[in-house]
Amino acid sequence: QVQLVESGGDLVQPGGSLRLSCAASGIIFTVYRMSWYRQAPGKQRELVAAITDGGSTSYADFVKGRFAISRDNAKNTAYLQMNSVKPEDAAVYYCSADLSTVLPGLHYWGQGAQVTVSS
């Protein structure tokens, strides 16, 4: 079965750093677009960052210069490096594996990793 397992969610201080990991199984990882989304209480889920199968990255304006998405195809793992964390970054962060450009609706999700920002 397809599994996306996030890890690394934690309590982090404002201005601090955190690295989230997403380990994938059950998919041909190398061909998928990998993304990180987040959802805060009372807010809609929003795209944070994405990385293509070729390694091209894109970011939401609110994380540009602070977050970095990457992937290690040998480990079937995607990462989100979060630096200079702000209180408004607190959310549940979801990993996704997306092949919907090939087949609409082919989009898998992890269960989420809680990121709490507090001093």
Find the helix or strand (DSSP H, E) in which 94 lies. Answer: strand 91-98
DSSP category for residue 66: T
- Mean pLDDT score across all residues of the chain: 97
Q: Over pLDDT 90: what percentage of the chain?
A: 95
Mean pLDDT, to the nearest integer, of 22-51?
97
For residue 3, the model assigns a pLDDT of: 97
SS3 label, residue 119: coil
CA 37, CA 39: separation in Å to the nearest integer? 7
Kindly report, residue by residue over 52-111, the tens digit of the pLDDT: 999 999 999 999 999 999 999 999 999 999 999 999 999 999 999 999 988 898 999 999
Query: Given strand 77-82, what is the order of strands in its sheet?
Result: 3-7, 18-25, 77-82, 67-72
Q: What is the DSSP string of 4-58?
A: EEEE---EE-TT--EEEEEEEESS-GGGSEEEEEEE-TTS--EEEEEE-TT--EE
Kindly report, residue by residue over 100-110, the tens digit of the pLDDT: 988 898 999 99
- Confidence at 44, pLDDT banded by 50, 70, 90: very high
